[in-house]
Structure 1
């Protein structure tokens, strides 16, 4: 992708990063580009450094850097796919909610934390800008904190700030942070979104995953009222609903009047919208994915997508055609939260096909990212299948009804084989 790259930071990282150190930084729009660029430039002097990636949107790190650096990631999104396809990315198939505990226990090792932050306020506090999530836990344990202070990073409200005294090295920068390209939606995605929008009640608290289908759903909710948001990520679709008066966060049951997320992923307009906006707050993963918090939200409606689902409700959100492109992520956390929420709705929405291949299958071609016990409501452009409380045979019948009509006969024949023992 074309990047508005600032110059590499004038910092000798080898002075701060020891052999075998674990290094982590903000993902997606929150990547500190001067620092990551410096890491790429100096990689030959950082042999054995263990880099944990979120959504690596910049693509500054490539398979060529793997001779010195060791890459792991919770997802195969964005530029991570290139690393995965080259065989140099070691995926971490863990639920998103587990990251803070893994960081604190040292299992997910964070010795050096690279941050992109806003300028300090009068109290000497920097905002974490575009991501809080598991960075807050990393901030608590990191030996070294290197901060890129960027005057174009928004000041966002939340529960974590960085005191200037906690910074070991500060690098000044001035450039527009990365923005997330808009997803393209077509008639299939809009058809799915129409079905989902009919399910969403006024006053619901929304969580939306990433991708074309969740974004299409948000675009279809403009006539709803008193919606709220509590999500891992917030993008342009949420901003649009807030500006239109459809999403006011007035009926959530907690955080009255405030939308909550862990990360902002959107355009520069979203970044400007979030700046000093008391109606939007970034929180730690321990809060955004907390099961008790999710259960307390009114009509918590989790809307996520998948690569494929089987006829009993098992979800593969990680592997497509042999490539690691997705993640376990937070879908399972949010779906379970929706099950427990009063009036909650756990939704997985996806197109019925990918090309000529059915995305509703008799048996998954990849791992089980979300179990069938956490399944709820599945939606394709062909309808809605509510699996809650259904036996296996009833589930199969419902799932066949939302598969592509051209695929149903073959799926029904494959379903004749026992599926009860599926993982």
Structure 2
């Protein structure tokens, strides 16, 4: 037990199967984990196995499952496949879980990540029965040294009646010192968060807990399970190029400097392409105040282009996760991991004047953005933290390929089938055909710019819809509600948004 320095907690070491017996049917279980990092590695499989055994005997077993965000197949996936979850919160990305949600076999509550810890501590989900949190080490006082992410761990540990700790020896001990743990006080009288620059540290490097609540400690040595990023393709490079054009224009208009650009970036191939483009740009002293540390940020740090990156967790490819483990002592000079309630807090985001950058499923010709539901009804992943940053950024941007499914689906539609980010919050939208700057424009003035970044095959259809709507409904935001979702109806009927024969 080399990583458990507290004598009392060394006496509570047991197997994952034994610990799973402490979690009853109907329990509210809150775990660590955020985008495939720092999630519990052993307990989810043990809970899933228990659920399957009980189901085979005709007995019920399901839990409500709360996390920081998405986890991994050996957490979200195994629990979904075992039908072990009644309600999932607040974000997921596992295919098996997505299928269970969309088939109505699992409840799902989607919300802004900055709201999640407050909702849990306020009792929106009832009492938290058990918190299961991964740690790199337990010190002599019983404090937890966070592993590759913090997420909602602080609030979950404070709220839970019982605590189970997974101590993971795969996680580097040199991660100690990277975390900045700060508790937001209760209302009324809650104080402001004293972060005035991206690199400010305001808390401790450990999470203090009530040791008396710990009922089990499980030792593991299993790696985080993040998928590798796909090679950067031609379309991603084009999108990244247009985003960098936007940044250059912001410098030209005096709204941005080459020194000290503060960024937020969503997860994925295109955001990593943007960061690859920044390597060869004029921008220096780049700072990230964001949710996750990605491969591209590590490259920017290595190149001396990024001076500090603040996030709540890692989202690294397996190669870069191994690199981080080997060189954590170096990277903790540049990287800060914070509680999710701090990393995504509107107050801090607004103060830092950052530029946000997130993906989308579709946007309509007036600038409303759908980032969660395919054709308005099938959940993809969830809103995550995109709303936290979009609403509060100095400038909010969205990036997307213009089409999906080999051209069968247009990312630009007449009317978004579900709206997560309204026209009031979405400012700039980028595709491989350029960027649409929607700031300061009336709804009808936005339309030509949105059509210009659509795929050429869809531009005449979008223009025809707008012309028809304007002729039949000459209002502030022209729409013909009988035709507004014709793209989506064609997709449902024929498998393509394009008309037959087009």
Aligned twin of 1:99:
116
Q: Determine which of 240, 245, 252 is the counterpart of 1:198.
A: 245
**CA-to-partner distance for each residue in 1:105-153, whole Å, 9 max, x for gaps?**
1113432111111123455432221221222211110111101111121
**1:243 deviation in Å?**
0.9
Alignment of 1:249-398 (within 5 A): 249=308, 259-266=309-316, 267-275=321-329, 277-298=332-353, 300-321=354-375, 322-339=377-394, 345-354=395-404, 355-356=406-407, 357-365=409-417, 367-398=418-449
Q: Indicate yes or no: 2:63 matched with 1:49.
A: yes
**1:351 deviation in Å?**
0.7
Distance 1:126 1:399 in 2: 49
Q: Determine which of 44, 62, 66 is the counterpart of 1:36.
A: 44
User: Which moves more between the two structures, 346-355 or 273-282?
Assistant: 273-282
Aligned-CA RMSD value: 2.4
> How many residues were matched structurally?
399
Distance 2:48 2:90 in 1: 20
**CA-to-partner distance for each residue in 1:78-99, whole Å, 9 max, x for gaps?**
3432333443232223111110
**1:400 deviation in Å?**
0.9
Aligned twin of 1:254:
none
Instruction: Label 1:98 to 1:112 Cα distance change in 2 as closer, same or farther (>3 A).
Output: same
Alignment of 1:175-254 (within 5 A): 175-200=222-247, 201-202=257-258, 203-223=260-280, 224-249=283-308
Q: TM-score, normalised by structure 1?
A: 0.87
User: Which moves more between the two structures, 385-394 or 57-66?
Assistant: 57-66
Gaps of 5+ in 2: 1-13, 55-59, 182-205, 248-256, 485-502
Distance 2:288 2:424 in 1: 25
Distance 1:359 1:40 in 2: 37
**1:318 deviation in Å?**
0.7
**1:63 deviation in Å?**
4.5
Distance 1:63 1:31 in 2: 15
Q: Determine which of 158, 177, 199 is the counterpart of 2:179.
A: 158
Distance 2:410 2:327 in 1: 39
Distance 1:108 1:184 in 2: 41
SS of residue matched to 2:306: coil
Q: TM-score, normalised by structure 2?
A: 0.74
